[in-house]
Amino acid sequence: MGALVLRMRQLQVEEADQYRLLADENRINVRLLAPSRGLIYDRNGRIIAENEANYRVVLVREDAGDTELVLERLGQIITISPDDLEKVRKELKRRSAFVPVTVADRLSWADMAEISVNAPALPGITPDVGLSRSYPLGPDFAHIVGYVGPVTDYDLANVEDEDPLLQIPKFQIGKTGIENRFDRDLRGKAGSKRIEVNSVGRVMRELDRIEGQSGDTLSLTIDADLQNYVQARLAGQSASAVVMDTENGDLVAIGSVPAFDPNKFVRGISSKDYSQLTDDPYRPLSNKAVGGAYPPGSTYKMIVALSALEAGLIDPSEIITCTGFIEVSGRRFHCWKRQGHGQVDLRKSLVESCDVYYYELAQRVGIDKMTAMARRFGMGQKFPVPMTGISHGLAPTKDWKKRSRKQDWLIGDSLNAAIGQGYVLSSPLQLAVMTARLATGREVMPRLVRSVNGQALPDGRGGDMGLPEEWLKLMRDGMFGVVNDRTGTAYASRVIDDTVRISGKTGTSQVRNITAEERKSGVISNEDLPWERRDHALYVSFAPADAPRYAVSVVVEHGGGGSKAAAPVARDILMQALYGGLPPLEVYPVGQRDRIETERRALELRSPTAGVTAEKDRA
Amino acid sequence: MSYLEYSVKRVPVGISKIFFINWPLVLLICAVAAFGFLMLYSVAGGSMTPWAEPQIKRFIMGLVLMFIVAFVPVYFWRNMAVTIYLLTLMLLLLVEFFGITSMGAQRWINLGFMRLQPSELMKIALVLVLAAYYDWLPLNKTSHPLWVLAPVALILIPSYLVLRQPDLGTAILLMAGGGAVMFLAGVHWLYFAGVIGLTAGTVFSVFASRGTDWQLIKDYQFRRIDTFLDPSSDPLGAGYNITQSKIALGSGGWTGRGFMQGTQSRLNFLPEKQTDFIFTTLAEELGFIGGATLLGLYAAILIFCYSSAMVNRDRFSSLLILGIAAAFFLYFAINMSMVMGLAPVVGVPLPLVSYGGSAMLVILIAFGFVQSAHVHRPR
């Protein structure tokens, strides 16, 4: 008797707390409430990523009675594929009778209404609404914002993330782009509800609920209208372009075509659609603007010139004679112009893009000084832009070659590097940063996210680069000549409005080696080559020339020459940016206006209200 | 000394017997039963059905039976003891052949209006027959080996039949209850020491043999014994009941979670919450105070029985009262030890509280014998 009392005391008084805890563990289940994902806006407040209502119907077996009959009736209202039906049947069998099983989702409002009206005939069927990510602007922001998708086991294994939200079935997390890089901020904080369950897990009642905290709102530096224009202007090629505000480093547009519809990924892309994307030689899935690494070609020449000026190894007025080629250690290095440029000074070397001039500089300066200058302009570094698949590019040094290639640096490598060929690689983003820095003399840094929850992030204005203004002026003057001198390589892509004059530099980067035999028999022109062996066309530019506002880099993969394929695109983009819409035809040279007008008509621009109509369609 | 040798003149007769009933005992029994009704009401989620209402009806029926038994002179019961025992033994045999199988055990026979569990009846029948035996046996022969064998047989035969049903809990109660009557009758303590020693020795040697060449039982039998002795080694299987029971008990704390607020029982985590594990619900909802109060009521019942037996000069009567008290004690002690995790889980209900007709009727009839002995005690 005494033993019983003592034991009762031990259990109920001394160990009571421990058992109370165990009892609560038994009965209380904590269910997470998914917070709504943070919204993403462009710089003007246009919505880029939002959460749409996902209407679905769930079936509770014990309320349905005859589930087959209910499913059959439901099948008369909405179409359920036999596959899905089989899945639902399996799920119903597997789960307890009181667990709701999703029968169909992403239903239209009309379907939902009809189901609601027919509710008496559909016992156990409950309409339900959840949230799902949607991108009203479709492919325009596919590469920038990326997309979300359900958490996979792969994600769980690879991310050291204790966030309990990830355990919610079908919880969406950012897979690429800003959605991925800002995932933690966009995700928000999980809410929770505590529910009382009985021994078989049936929910008896809700004890309390803490609402989640929705994710942060992001505001980007991108202008959705310009972005749309850039995508449309590049369309039809495998190309990319970066538009940067030279003043503060804001990335106003980042084009990469072809693109894809991120909404397909959110809803679960079909394998047919997916293989279509992966099989396309134009690589729609890759974000070429930041992830593509191309030999910069002649756009690199300002870097080489500046490094020579800084080393004091060239006087801007010094004349170097171009005979069409130069011979170094028994090898001929050709200028793109076979007959040569003749007498070339620094300005002319840029305007007419003389290669021999830079072969000479390369021999004087050496690769390490050239690369040091390139790094100051952002080459070979990964900018902290919140996108995925960002390329480092490559700014080669002697050391680098020894380490990675186990070979000594050759003088020929320097010569190739001087014209942006060989080992040098840069992304369109790096080219845009380089151009912005040339235009301002400041260490402009790219910025993609303007503010988080209304709190502005630091801009990328940057401090002075420490380069003498006169040298930079030389570069800008040369670049002005490229576009505005009659002999300039981009003369055809000039504008005639003095307030928006463009400065630029063309580049053409070889994808193949031109052999000595080919050179003898005449170099095959790009048009005669298969697409994938044609040269990349590059162009860097800024405008207005006298007071730079925007820097634009364009790379058209296998587009042929930079002056023909890339420069006109950059001009149109610059004008679009400066005028905040289509510029008057008067800015273009008289002879080109008709052609440009025709081109404009062919352009497939999104209507300015596209996002809004999409909203109405759903509602 | 036999009953007839006392003066019967002062023994109450007729309806006046009602004034000689041990009323405090009746009140205590009602109080304990009331505890039971409350808990049955609570575990049904605040409803008289399905448990509280039938239980109250049976209790009233049992109370009537108790008074009927109490009004019958105790010597009649002494004379009937052997007959009752034999009848009950026959019922047990009937169960063996014609019983209803329920939940894996064959314990009941259908009487039409109710299902009777003869093993419950045997608990009193055995006490009756043993008390009568020692009343009949001259005192000097009490510890004679030959005269010890007879009651041992009286105990072991029904115990064996009950064990076959199988109902280990009741078998243990029969053996322990019978042994208690023998001990109270004054059988020499060396017999008990011998039995206990022998049992302990057997258990010890079985366990000592484990893993040796001369292992006495099979490995799987050992494993069964392991989970029997330590259910926590198998928390989701055999140990589930006792683990949940301890959680429920412990979470009650000092004052309990409040009437009808016990989560363990209300949400079905507790098994058998209306029968064997009802004390758990009580302790969860009413806490240590509630549990201790019930235990206090039980103790008071035992004390009243003991004092009644002490003043009774009739050997049969006092043996009967003490024997029933001992059986009653074993009943609730084993049940409580079980739900508190002190003893292995054997199906023993909590007397007067657990839901169940046979047990309730049998206990009340047993207290009828106690009252009969009290009313008709020699004066």
A537 vs A569: CA distance, rounded Å: 11
Mention every residue, 6+ apart, whose C-beta is less than 8 A from residue B79: none
- The answer on pLDDT for B293 being more than 90 is yes
Q: Is the pLDDT of residue B106 over 70?
A: no
Residues in chain B, total: 379
State the count of interchain CB pairs (< 8 A) between A and B.
94
B85 by Cβ neighbours in 10 Å (0-12 / 13-18 / 19+) ranks as buried
Query: For chain A, which residues lie within 8 Å of any Cβ of chain B, measuring from their own Cβ?
Result: 1, 3-5, 7-9, 11-13, 15-20, 22-24, 26-27, 196-200, 204
pLDDT of residue A252: 96
Listed in sequence order, the DSSP H helices in B99-144 are 118-136
> Does the pLDDT of residue A483 top 90, yes or no?
yes
DSSP 3-state assignment of A471?
helix
A516-563 confidence digits (pLDDT tens): 777 777 777 777 888 888 899 999 999 999 999 999 999 999 998 888
Q: Which two tokens stand for residue A497?
A: 């409005």
- Identify the closest residue of chain B to A6 by CA–CA distance: B292
Between chains, do A11 and B250 touch, taking CB under 8 Å as contact?
yes
DSSP state of A531: G
**SS3 call for A367:** helix
Q: What is the pLDDT of residue A298?
A: 94
Of the given ranges (A36-50, A123-137, A324-338), which has the lowest mean pLDDT?
A: A123-137
Alpha-carbon distance of B343 to B334, in angstroms, equals 7
Q: How many CA atoms lie within 13 A of A436 on its CB side?
A: 34
Cis amide linkage into residue A120, ω under 30° from 0: no
Query: What single string gives the DSSP state of each residue in A568-598?
Result: HHHHHHHHHHHHTSSPPGGGS-GGGHHHHHH
Mutation target to probe the A interface, by most A beta carbons within 10 A, among B247, B273, B280 is B247
Decide if pLDDT at A573 tops 70: yes
What is the CB neighbour count within 10 angstroms for residue B352? 29
Is residue B321 within 8 Å of B305, Cβ to Cβ?
A: yes
Residue A618 has pLDDT above 50, yes or no: no
| Residue owning tokens 């996002």 | A611
Residue A616 reports pLDDT greater than 60 = no
Q: Which long-range contacts does A205-211 make (Cβ < 8 Å, 24+ apart)?
A: A207/A28, A209/A33, A210/A33, A211/A33
Catalytic residue numbers of A, as ranges: 298
pLDDT surpassing 70 at residue A615: no
Q: Kindly list the residues from chain A whose CB atom is less than 8 angstroms away from the CB atom of residue B263.
A: 23-24, 26-27, 196
Tell the residue number behind the tokens 């005992």, with chain if given.
Answer: B25
Q: Looking at chain B, which residue has its C-alpha nearest residue A21?
A: B251
**CA Rg, chain A, in Å?**
31
Q: What is the 3 state secondary structure string of A255-278?
A: EEECCCCHHHHHHCCCHHHHHHHH
- How crowded is residue A317: how many other Cβ atoms within 10 Å of its Cβ? 8
User: Cβ contacts of residue A510 below 8 Å, gap of 6+?
Assistant: A295, A297, A421, A535
CB contact under 8 A, B251 and A20: yes
What single letter denotes the amino acid at residue A422?
G
- The answer to whether the Cα torsion of A488, A489, A490, A492 is positive or negative is positive
The pLDDT tens digits of the residues spanning A464-482 come to 999 999 999 999 999 999 9
**Inter-chain contact B333–A19, Cβ cutoff 8 Å?**
no
CA distance A559 to A556: 5
Give the relative orientation of helices B278-311 and B357-375 as an angle to the nearest 10 degrees. Answer: 20
**For an interface test with B, which of A9, A11, A98, A203 has the most B Cβ atoms less than 10 Å from its Cβ?**
A11
**Whole-number Cα distances in Å, B124 to B121, B130, B158, B285:** 6, 10, 12, 33
Contacts of A344 (CB under 8 A, 6+ apart): A319, A320, A321, A322, A352, A354, A356, A357
Residue A97 has pLDDT above 80, yes or no: no
The reported pLDDT for the residue numbered B238 is 62
* pLDDT band for position B183 (cuts 50, 70, 90): very high
Minimum CA–CA partner of B335 in chain A: A4
Predicted confidence (pLDDT) per residue in B58-84, tens digit:
999 999 999 999 999 988 999 999 999
What's the CA gap between B275 and A545, in Å, rounded?
94
Return the pLDDT at B1: 45
Tens digit of pLDDT for each residue in A147-173? Answer: 998 887 777 777 666 677 777 767 888
Tokens of B259: 């009437």
Closest to B335 (Cα-Cα) out of B97, B73, B107, B36: B36
pLDDT tens-digit readout, A103-117: 888 888 888 888 888
- CB-CB contact of A578 with A584 (8 Å): no
Domains and CATH numbers, chain A: 27-214 (3.90.1310.10), 224-272+286-602 (3.40.710.10)
Three-class SS state of A174: strand
- Per-residue confidence at A16, pLDDT binned at 50, 70, 90? confident
CA distance B125 to B82: 8
Q: What percent of chain A has pLDDT over 70?
A: 96
Pull the structure tokens for residue A556.
């058209």
Confidence of residue A139 (pLDDT cuts 50, 70, 90): very high
